[in-house]
């Protein structure tokens, strides 16, 4: 365990998720790795020993194998492909972000696994920006990391992450114009994700077109 706030019933555990991809063109931002991703990260490190010798390469492998692993990744890919993100990145599907094209993607607003009352932290209770332990981790981790990546497209997964990103934009840690607003959380528990995607689809498509045309102009 890294840190604990007994009063708020919060615990933060170490898992090897500290790899920072400074070349990322897309930053897909979840809340925190859950227990499943935490276990997957440990097994990835164990399996990598012996055939991957660089610590940085092992940490990169952890990000590829564990980020949004499972049903969430499937839903995420389906929605991003529907928006046409893969066409701007010159890949066949956004599934490649977790495979051959993994140098494009980054993840999570709370770097290490956070648990509330012994269960995966959902991002709502307690509020990330009002709980001192969580806010400290955001500012020391994600807020610092995002500044090392040049003008990425930032995709927040859900309203709780969006609130944190809006706060950081207000503090000049990132550019609010680079945030893809309206993207649904890809969790299987979010039964409204298809309706949310349909409602915001055209607006998000326009934002993608603007972001990547600007990127091409700069490039």
pLDDT of residue 9: 92
Domain locations along the chain: 11-218
Q: List pLDDT tens digits, range 187-199.
A: 888 889 999 999 9
pTM: 0.86
How is residue 107 written in tokens? 């993840």
Provide mean pLDDT across the span 91-101.
Answer: 85
Strands 10-12 and 114-116: antiparallel
pLDDT of residue 217: 45
Residue 200's pLDDT band (cuts 50, 70, 90): very high
Q: What percent of the chain has pLDDT over 70?
A: 94
Average the pLDDT over each of 32-41, 81-90, 113-122, 130-139 and give the range with the smallest value. Answer: 32-41
Is pLDDT above 90 for 39?
no
Q: List pLDDT tens digits, range 123-174.
A: 989 999 999 999 999 999 999 999 899 889 999 998 899 999 999 999 999 9
Higher pLDDT pick, 28 / 37: 28
Provide mean pLDDT across the span 14-41.
Answer: 85
How is residue 133 written in tokens? 């332990």
Long-range contacts (CB closer than 8 Å, 24 or more residues apart) made by 69-73: 69/36, 69/37, 69/40, 70/36, 71/188, 72/186, 72/187, 72/188, 73/98, 73/186
Q: List pLDDT tens digits, range 54-84.
A: 777 777 777 666 666 678 889 999 999 999 9
- 11-218 — its CATH code? 3.40.470
Provide mean pLDDT across the span 89-105.
Answer: 84
pLDDT of residue 218: 43
Query: 106 has which bridge partners?
Result: 27
Provide mean pLDDT across the span 27-36.
Answer: 88
């Amino acid at each position: 365990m890294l840190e604990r706030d007994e009063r708020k019933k919060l615990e933060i555990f170490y898992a090897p998720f500290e790899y920072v991809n400074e070349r990322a063109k897309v930053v897909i931002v979840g809340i925190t790795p859950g227990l499943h991703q935490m276990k997957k990260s440990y097994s990835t490190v164990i399996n990598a020993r012996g055939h991957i010798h660089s610590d940085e390469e092992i940490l990169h492998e952890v990000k590829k194998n564990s980020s949004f692993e499972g049903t969430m990744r499937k839903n995420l890919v389906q929605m991003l492909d529907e928006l046409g993100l893969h066409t701007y990145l010159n890949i066949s599907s956004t599934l490649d972000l977790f495979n051959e094209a993994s140098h494009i993607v980054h993840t999570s607003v709370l770097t290490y696994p956070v648990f509330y009352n012994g269960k995966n932290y959902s991002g709502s209770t307690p509020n990330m920006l009002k709980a001192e332990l969580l806010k400290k981790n955001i500012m020391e981790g994600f807020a610092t990391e995002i500044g090392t990546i040049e003008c990425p497209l930032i995709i927040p997964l859900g309203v709780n992450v969006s609130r944190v990103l809006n706060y950081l934009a207000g503090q000049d840690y990132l550019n609010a114009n680079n945030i893809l607003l309206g993207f649904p959380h890809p969790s299987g528990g979010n039964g409204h994700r298809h309706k949310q995607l349909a409602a915001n689809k055209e607006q998000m498509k326009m934002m993608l077109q603007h972001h990547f045309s600007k990127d091409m102009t700069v490039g």
